[in-house]
């Protein structure tokens, strides 16, 4: 910065002053800050450092008029005049790193600022800086949704056979997205078992929502991604719409859907795929059973462990005889637990199909 230097606008002048304060490690303030005239001084009393700038005519261009680049600080002044952390301006320092390293973490930003600038950041300050830098480089997240129609059209054009469904609300705000890539549909038809696990995960960020997924199992019992969706929430309407599109993808194949016991799924899965084709993740079933056991048994951890072992023997029984024996043992151990198991999960028992680590099919 020097006398006569120009900046495209006042914002870039402000950025330059802030970056200078970081480099020289001092704190400044504006004694005058209007669109036409800006005066910046060091916050230390009687320090001669000063910058004045003005807009040129009717343009937005800002030109430096006076630049007195001399500081007069005592040792006490140095420690008390460290630059303030302003996320929107300090983030300018990490722009290049964000462009080249997408997984640049806030914890690493904190370490780099101490090493490079001698400034201590909190994790929250570093996180805000990263978000500001991403917004400046890539734009505000709310505008990404306007790219959905273009993105969906490109997916279908470049990957023939891909199924994409996109819905908007009446006010043109995004509502639902369903995607099943052609290669996933072909892979499911040619090499996967007729078992699909569905689940969802809450998304972080300013707009929340939920990510839906449908995962098949191949001949090696490995997970095979089939379809995914972005929804507003995990309600009945969103799950029903997702499942109806999934039904079109599997065509005439009769599949078994594995899910947790989410209320929306207890209603929507039977409506779309049939009650007899709905099974539950054994992990979720076991968690529910464990909660019920805690209310029924007062024998400590050993009693709870025994009850869960009885449930394992019932769930993994391959023959009807083994199933009946395990049910008898559970009923003899605690009749209330056996009754709960039959009422809540009437289909739990000897399976005709194979079982995997996560679900009962």
Report pLDDT for 189.
92
Among residues 134, 142, 179, the alpha carbon closest in space to that of 159 is found at 179
Determine the Cα–Cα distance for residues 235 and 13; give it in Å rounded to an integer. 49
Neighbours of 65 (CB within 10 A): 14
Q: Which residues of the chain have pLDDT under 70?
A: 1, 297-301, 341-361
Neighbours of 46 (CB within 10 A): 7
Among residues 11, 73, 15, 85, the alpha carbon closest in space to that of 1 is found at 15
Report pLDDT for 154.
95
- The proportion of the chain whose per-residue pLDDT surpasses 90, expressed as a percent, equals 38
Do 3 and 50 contact (CB within 8 A), yes or no?
no
Calculate the alpha carbon distances from 115 to 75, 86, 99, 108, 167 in Å: 21, 18, 21, 11, 48
**Residues of the chain by 3-state class (helix, strand, coil), percent to 5:** 50, 20, 30
Report pLDDT for 226.
96
Report pLDDT for 169.
84
CATH number for domain 146-280, candidates 3.30.70, 1.10.150, 3.30.420, 3.30.450:
3.30.420
Determine the Cα–Cα distance for residues 333 and 340; give it in Å rounded to an integer. 13
Among residues 181, 233, 175, 182, the alpha carbon closest in space to that of 203 is found at 233
- 79-110 tens-digit pLDDT: 777 777 877 788 888 888 888 887 899 999 99
DSSP assignment string, 62-83: EEEEEEE------HHHHHH-PP
- 110-161 tens-digit pLDDT: 998 888 887 888 999 899 989 888 888 888 877 888 888 999 999 999 999 9
Burial of 8 (0-12, 13-18, 19+ CB in 10 A): exposed
Among residues 256, 270, 259, the alpha carbon closest in space to that of 358 is found at 259
Report pLDDT for 355.
42
Q: What does pTM read for this prediction? A: 0.64
């Amino acid at each position: 910065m020097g006398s006569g230097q120009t900046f495209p606008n006042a914002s870039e002048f402000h950025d330059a002053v802030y970056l200078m304060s970081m480099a020289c490690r001092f704190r400044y303030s504006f004694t005058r800050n209007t669109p036409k005239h800006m005066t910046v001084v060091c916050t230390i009393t009687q320090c001669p450092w000063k910058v004045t700038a003005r807009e040129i005519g009717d343009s937005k261009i800002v030109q430096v008029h006076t630049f007195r680049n001399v500081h007069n600080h005592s040792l006490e002044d140095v420690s008390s005049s460290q630059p303030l952390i302003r996320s929107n301006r300090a983030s300018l320092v990490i722009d290049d790193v964000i462009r080249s390293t997408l997984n640049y973490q806030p914890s690493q930003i904190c370490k780099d600022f101490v090493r490079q600038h001698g400034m201590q950041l909190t994790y929250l300050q570093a996180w805000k800086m990263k978000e500001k830098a991403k917004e400046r480089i890539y734009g505000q997240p709310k505008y990404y949704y306007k790219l959905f129609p273009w993105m969906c059209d490109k997916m279908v054009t470049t990957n023939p056979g891909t199924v994409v469904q996109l819905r908007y609300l009446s006010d043109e705000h995004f509502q639902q997205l369903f995607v099943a890539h052609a290669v996933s549909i072909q892979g499911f038809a040619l090499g996967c078992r007729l078992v699909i696990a569905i689940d969802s995960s809450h998304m972080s960020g300013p707009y929340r929502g939920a990510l839906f997924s449908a995962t098949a199992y191949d001949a090696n019992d490995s997970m095979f991604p089939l379809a995914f969706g972005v929804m507003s929430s995990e309600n009945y309407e969103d799950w029903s719409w997702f499942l109806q599109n999934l039904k079109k993808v599997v065509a005439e194949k009769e599949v078994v859907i594995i899910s947790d016991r989410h209320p929306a799924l207890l209603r929507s899965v039977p409506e779309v795929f049939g009650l007899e084709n709905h099974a539950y993740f054994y992990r979720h079933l076991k968690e529910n059973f464990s909660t019920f056991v805690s209310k029924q048994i007062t024998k400590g951890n050993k009693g709870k462990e025994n009850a869960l072992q009885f449930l394992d023997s019932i769930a993994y029984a391959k023959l009807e005889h083994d199933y009946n024996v395990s049910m008898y043992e559970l009923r003899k151990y605690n009749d209330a637990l056996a009754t709960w198991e039959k009422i809540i999960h009437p289909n739990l028992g000897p399976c005709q199909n194979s079982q995997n680590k996560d679900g009962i099919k």
